[in-house]
Structure 1
């Protein structure tokens, strides 16, 4: 222990604080809110003083949070943004006005949390998890350090039993629903929809871009039970896609209050959908909560939104694009978006996955457009062996793959990246896809970032 300003501070450096929080990972993902309620109770429930926009969904959460943050900032509001996983550095998860939490503030807040976490760990509730402590730290940061006008608040996993569900937001957003984390959330769309719909709170309006009829039904019933006004894509609002220009796509948002022309630089039709969901949330804030959102600011905020690791071109010679598609729905979007957004001769795909996912569906969507596939492994403890991925590709080769598919297996991701660079000729396109743990490392290597950390 370190004597500091007359107090005992067990953690002396930023790195020690991050190591302590990450050291709680072995406690796993333990759904349930008892520990976060107990933690917040000790600090006087500071989350009750904040305005949250709560965002859940299988894919598109990060992009939707980025659209909301960008537009609100452009409109003159101060914004906290809490997201996961992070692409570059642990501090990315806790942003205020687009800037990471300062390392010294993270250390100070960790030292405030440390004794309380230790105390709970010794009691019958057991130790709070890494994600619970991170969420508590985010709440303390926003409620007691920087006081944003609004916090864009992304769920970690699911919704109903997710730690972030401790808050009562001013509006909720459910981006979409697909097969992911089925080991925790359930094996049918209805069950997964039930978990995501768990963020719907009594009387709080909810926006949803969910489209599968059985999932829509669950969300409608949950909203009705909670007397929450539901704004559903293709019912209360929709979008019409316009021109796709190099580096930008246009769409017309049609909402219950008005129509808006919009342009975004994020690629892929799914980003028009994410931006429309975000616009509907903003329209609710403008119409019912006196938020001042001028059309020019909204348009500029949407256009300026960038999101790392989503159809992001990080190298021109050779051309390499990163995309964190790691489930069947993500792969379907990627397979549709790449040929539309880029011109190329051959497509060379490097990918690596975690072992807890449903990967057959991923390959079914992606193999038809790939000429060469490089199977590798993320530098992460729950990685899936490249040989196991090879087994899946071999199974689908006859039915789903392009004729003449070349398969390369290279477990070491750094060597795999060199192979990708060598195989991607001037007229070709290289794509790195799969778990964000892999995307994070590859992005740091290609952009020569030295302080890259990565993780959940």
Structure 2
């Protein structure tokens, strides 16, 4: 028996992260031994390269504005593991997490005894905890974020009411494939028989994979740019404003408090999934509720303001597609400010391209640094990052991110922006520091 919260975390994090051969057979057996708790839940499934977390947050707040109780399953966490399993945005309590760990621990031990080193992985245990917790603490709806890929992700033993695929980009290529269609095929693995699919802004080759998969599964895809549209309606305050059109639904000046064109796309994908769900369940829709839900949405670590004067923000952009969006955001909202970026990236990411993408923004000053990577995963060293481009007069190196932060604060003026980015794990560290510190 696991006796303390610390032991519960040790039990979870002490597992292998991956197995050599991807399979759902072990996860299905795991759930069967637990009584198939996933079959008791009403769910929406969210996959994609980037934008999953924000889309989950928009869905959560849209349904909460309706008066629904909404469970969410997300990864990674920003401050504490408990955030990954939340109800109406409130993380699972330590006591409930401990109780749920003790419920699944004997089943894990049984599978370990049968399968040896092929027992459940860390993420399979996370997923099992979530399914068991919500089966015992019922909510109206659970919004489930895919961990990695889709086809073989441990969440993919469920049958949701709606499947959502946000974006397709080149990331986790060693696991998911080297091309957009290969990666799209992995994400399309969450498409189920007769379950409606909502897609964000996909390239034509990625969308073709979704359409083909949906056809095989007797369902159809509703895609951003083809079946529903958004139009940016810029405004000077923090956040984004946009027009939305889907079928006979047309709304002007929808407001979100998150920055970036990609957040408009994420909000629109979430809104389309919300409307599709309401049509499916024959539920009424209120424009006022939709506006309230979207405007209320906050998502830690996504261009999150930590300080007003000077303006300091963090963003979990952790791959090249996210950096392309980041560069676009900086050009759109901060073209007249100097932007100081403290960048730390995991070594298995495309950091060469990430550095080059940021330096292509003319008012960006880059401070390359590192952080302590999670578990066995290493961060790229400042020298590795520096080697990504030839000598550059807008690029310097700091031994650690605290030194990089100090360097930026000593150089920038009150009108400039300081942004810390490159990894969700990195900004988790930064966020904890700031939440206990005055600048």
Q: TM-score category by the smaller chain? A: over 0.9
In the alignment, structure 2 segments of 5+ residues that lack a partner are none
Deviation at 1:29, TM superposition (A): 7.9
- Counterparts in 2 of 1:153-168, with a 5 A limit? 153-168=144-159
Provide closer, same or farther for how the CA distance between residues 242 and 352 of structure 1 changes in structure 2, counting only shifts above 3 A.
Answer: same
Alignment correspondent of 1:197: 188
- Correspondence 1:376 to 2:365: no
Compute the TM-score of the two structures, normalised by the length of structure 1.
0.91
Deviation at 1:425, TM superposition (A): 2.2
Alignment correspondent of 1:341: 333
Deviation at 1:188, TM superposition (A): 0.3
Deviation at 1:30, TM superposition (A): 6.0
- Counterparts in 2 of 1:367-446, with a 5 A limit? 367-369=359-361, 371-380=364-373, 381-382=376-377, 383-394=379-390, 404-410=393-399, 412-446=400-434
Deviation at 1:344, TM superposition (A): 5.0
CA contact (8 A) 2:368 2:395 kept: no
- Correspondence 1:49 to 2:36: no
Alignment correspondent of 1:447: 435
1:150-189 Cα offsets, whole Å, 9 max, x none, are: 1100000000011110100000000010010001000000
1:56-86 Cα offsets, whole Å, 9 max, x none, are: 0001000100000011011111100000011
Cα RMSD, aligned residues only: 1.7
State how many pairs are aligned. Answer: 431
CA contact (8 A) 1:309 1:324 kept: yes
Alignment correspondent of 1:272: 264
CA contact (8 A) 2:176 2:183 kept: yes
1:295-317 Cα offsets, whole Å, 9 max, x none, are: 11111000010111111111123
- Correspondence 1:306 to 2:298: yes
Provide closer, same or farther for how the CA distance between residues 181 and 427 of structure 1 changes in structure 2, counting only shifts above 3 A.
Answer: same
- Counterparts in 2 of 1:256-267, with a 5 A limit? 256-261=247-252, 262-267=254-259
- Correspondence 1:239 to 2:230: yes
Give the SS at the match of 1:81: strand
1:386-438 Cα offsets, whole Å, 9 max, x none, are: 221111133xx5xxx6xx3131232x223322223323321221111101110
CA contact (8 A) 1:378 1:435 kept: no
Give the SS at the match of 1:377: coil
Tell me, in whole angstroms, the C-alpha distance in 1 between the residues paired with 2:18 and 2:302: 30
Compute the TM-score of the two structures, normalised by the length of structure 2.
0.94
- Correspondence 1:16 to 2:4: no
Provide closer, same or farther for how the CA distance between residues 141 and 14 of structure 1 changes in structure 2, counting only shifts above 3 A.
Answer: same
